[in-house]
Amino acid sequence: MTNVVVVGSQWGDEGKGKIVDWLSEEADVVVRFQGGHNAGHTLVINGKIFKLKLLPSGIVRPNKISIIGNGVVIDPWALLEEINEIKKKGVEVNENNLIISDTATLILPFHKEMDEIREDAAGSSKIGTTRRGIGPAYEDKIGRRSIRVMDLRSKTNLEKRLEVILEHHNAIRKGLSKKIYKSNELIKSLLEIAPNILIYSQPVWKKLAEFQKLNKRILFEGAQGILLDVDHGTYPYVTSSNTVAGTASVGSGTGPKSIDYVLGITKAYTTRVGGGPFPTELTDKIGETIGERGHEFGTVTGRKRRCGWFDGVLVRQAATISGITGIALTKLDVLDTLDEIKFCTGYLLRGKEVDFFPSASEDQFDVIPIYKTYKGWKSETKGIRNFNELPQKAKEYIAAIEDFVGVKISSISTSPERDDSILIENPFNG
């Protein structure tokens, strides 16, 4: 059986929800392997809208097992709220179809406060964080201070772990003239919700090994996009975790040989949320048109997304770093009304042509895109489900993406509707 990893090949918001939903119908197990509740998928199933943040997309389908891996940071209150909300919509969630890694790190209230304190103090250097405590929680994980799901089992252990983590946080808070955080109420609150979290807790690595022996199809579901990877993205304007496909292995406890296919979800143009470099950004009427037609607002935050032309250099780089096997091209129909469509094929950096996106932040802000211009197809592609029915100019644009990035396009999405897709290759069939 083929196991598939789904990652975004840009700065997130590529339309992973629709693709992951379609793939989750074919999968037996769906694994979320990194990030927190700062990124979301919107799914529409039988007319019902589900906005998922922490729960894997498979949870909305019967007879699927959903897993939250050790690479995810979990706000336990946000998770329980999400579970309750989805139950109200008729979705069954229990210990048989949801598994949470016992080694996953918890996001606690002081993480969120620290996120807000830092972002407010950053002024013009704001990263654009969602202020949900994701970064501070990952910092504590790396600093070996974090509270993990397993720590909820013992009041004594929980008190010891909180003493260690608050010694660190309170030193910082004191230096920033902020109120010292006391653990009494937090311990009480955590112990109250502990049974509701621990009911799902298991060693995920062990369960995945069992599923592989049973030849189960496993879908590894990433959040955000490769260009937000803490190592390979537009640092420091990145998220706090690794978002590349290789993280599926680390963030779930399964070996890299378990990954058979990497699907890169790729928007037919480019968007990003928050601060940071964006070489092909459009701040004119065309950018506004793309944003309006593409409904470019964040699933979780509602923030307006910045829009720009397709950046082939960035997607090619992301595909190389993440080992992308096939591309699922989304939102092609958003470009239907444009007279011309531009495609970034390189950059000028202080007068010198470069064929990759540089690592230094100052260089990333300074690069000037080199464009190739294509004529728009000026006809509606929305709802088309057969490649041969696409306008010739649209086919030429698609072929240019495939040729430049060097990765085959396995599917094309022509509207937000689940069935409005052109399937060229099924990732689960290798």
Question: Which backbone phi and psi does 325 adopt, to 5 degrees?
Answer: -90, -40
List the catalytic residues: 13, 41
CA distance 5 to 246: 9
DSSP assignment of 227-239 equals: GG-TTTSSTTSS-
Distances (CA, A) of 235 to 40, 137, 203, 231, 276: 22, 18, 32, 7, 8
Which residue is listed with tokens 């919107």? 42
Burial class, 347, CB count within 10 angstroms (exposed 0-12 / middle 13-18 / buried 19+): buried
CA distance 291 to 162: 44
**Number of C-beta neighbours around residue 1 at 10 A:** 14
**Number of C-beta neighbours around residue 138 at 10 A:** 23
Rg (CA), the chain: 22
